[in-house]
A = this chain, B = another copy of it.
Amino acid sequence: MKFVISQLNPKIGDLDGNTRKIIESIKRSRERGADLVLFPELTICGYAPEDLLLHQSFIDGMQQRLDQIMRASQGIAAIVGLARRNLFSGEKGLFNSVAVISDGYLLGFQDKWLLPTYDVFNERRYFEPGNETRLWQIGGKKVGIVICEDIWQHAGYVDLSAYPRDPIEEMAALKPDLLLNASASPYQIYKPDIRVKVCQKAARTLGCPVALCCQVGANDQIIFDGYSVFVDKQGELAMLGKGFEEDEMLIDPDVKMAPCSVEYDPMSNLYQALVLGVKDYFQKSHFQKACLGISGGIDSALVAHIAKDALGKDNVIGVYMPSKYTSKESGEDGLQLCKNLGITCLTIPIHKPVDTFLQELTPFFAKKPEDVTEENIQSRVRGTLLMALSNKHGYIVLSTGNKSEIAMGYCTLYGDMCGGLGVIGDVIKTHVYDLVRYLNRNAGKDIIPQRIIDKPPSAELRPGQKDLDSLPDYQIVDDVLRGYVEDYLRVDSIAEKYKIPIETVMNLVRKIHHAEYKRRQGPPIIRISKKSFGVGRHYPIVQGWM
């Protein structure tokens, strides 16, 4: 008995397109001699369809596509993810299920037991937990099937939840020959390692091989990195799917394979996640070209590099928008960067629109001194210029803010926060440097000019301005982000753990909460960390804590 792990890249809600992909993969697998194909969680609609699930016609649509897939599965079995109606009693009207199909017939459904409802996951909003387990006779084997989270509890890797049941433990009594898991497991640095460990733990408990099929691709803010897993019955990793692209792995669980290992450079991995995030956002929304502001600083340099790799150099338009505070070096560095990347660079000075605004506004400023108002006008003029190019030529504007400055509110709403996608909005400033150094090292030359890396960060919105005038060192900001935003630590624990004065921690935590109102109107952010400021974080804007 041989099977294929079909690591697909579905598009949310594109029932026809996804069904076509599923049927083609079934066809290819049959031609390769497979008895079974395992697809990712919610294959037909893509993960996560969110409130589309509340439309009855959407649920009906999945059922219709399942019929098509059944008709296309002569001579082979397939495990296909979809949402199906809960026709029994229960709080919610749907199950998160896989259909088990064989030779044109529906053998039945296996429903997901453990429904993650934390961080980016909202499954209890839509789904009723399944509660039955059984084995399925496929190709002469007794096959156990579970869905994503169902396998995680057993290995003790679930955050913020402690499910009272453990599907793996309950399945052990049934003695399966093979365990299959249909997943949609979002990217997070180091997560491939964890997925392997989770499968190994299940294999050792069940004494059988375990295959875990991941969704791949980006859907809005969430990146699915692929890296599907197959471990043998001893719990040795025997095959790992490709990262960041579709893959179809043909596996004979009865043939002993040489063990393999998970090896990757974390920065290379992170970079690929960001590239995929941009690429899929554009492809899936039928856009080709991006524009972005080039400031001569490190953030826009990194975003330009990512965009070039995601869209091709001919599809990226850099826009250099100097003001009277822009240094000569910034201009040189920005232009050199665009030249190195081979992308177009337009130059549109902002002096005139800024001056015109100030002329019109001065009578209404009541002789108050210059402050952040004048800085924000510069930033909003740049945003308006980028959006005009976007409107006229059909570009998507890429926003270049990093997580550390977004955390601090060190950014202008409707200014540099403009854009269809916040490419590095979940990348802390220290990782921005790491990524840029990795890119130069990898290229064997300074694609990103060394001066961009060396100079102290500055928004250049007033004479001689430096980020350090308003903020502590980014290393400190990033430690507080880890401690407070990712790990929910107490302020005093953060101070102790990272050796930062408690007043500094308090001050930064207050800044984080105070900037909530800006982030609420920021662009969608490609999520790469345990806790992004985009999807998966719900905080009140007006609140009295801290």
Contacts and interface: CB of A to CB of B under 8 A. Distances in A.
A371 interface: yes
A368 B17 CA distance: 34
Contacts of A13: 540, 543-546
Interface in A332-383: 346, 348-349, 352-353, 356-357, 359-361, 364-366, 368, 371-373, 376-377, 380-381, 383
B56 A490 contact: yes
A414 B349 CA distance: 21
Contacts of A280: 542
Contacts of A496: none
A189 interface: no
A123 to B, nearest CB: 9
A91 B125 contact: no
A542 B219 contact: yes
Contacts of A377: 384, 388
A90 B162 contact: yes
Contact of A392 (B371, B537, B544): B371
A385 B360 contact: yes
Given A124-B117, A162-B91, A392-B368, A52 B540 contact: yes
Contacts of A359: 352
A281 interface: yes
A168 interface: no
A161 B56 CA distance: 15
Contacts of A162: 89-93
A409 to B, nearest CB: 13
A522 interface: yes
A413 to B, nearest CB: 8
Contacts of A313: none
A54 B160 CA distance: 8
Contact of A58 (B281, B542, B545): B545
Given A520-B524, A545-B13, A91 B161 contact: yes
A537 B53 CA distance: 12
Nearest to A355: B356
Contacts of A233: none
Contact of A357 (B17, B91, B384, B420): B384
Interface string A40-64: 0000000011111011111001000
Given A357-B384, A384-B377, A540 B414 contact: no
A357 B385 contact: yes
Given A353-B356, A357-B388, A380-B384, A14 B545 contact: yes
A371 B391 contact: yes
A23 interface: no
A384 B14 CA distance: 38
Contact of A539 (B52, B371, B383, B520): B52
A523 interface: yes
A211 to B, nearest CB: 27
A325 interface: no
Given A57-B490, A285-B542, 6 more contacts: A12-B543, A13-B546, A50-B540, A91-B164, A366-B392, A373-B392
14 contacts: A13-B545, A49-B540, A50-B539, A54-B488, A56-B490, A90-B164, A117-B117, A122-B122, A280-B542, A352-B360, A364-B392, A368-B393, A376-B391, A387-B413
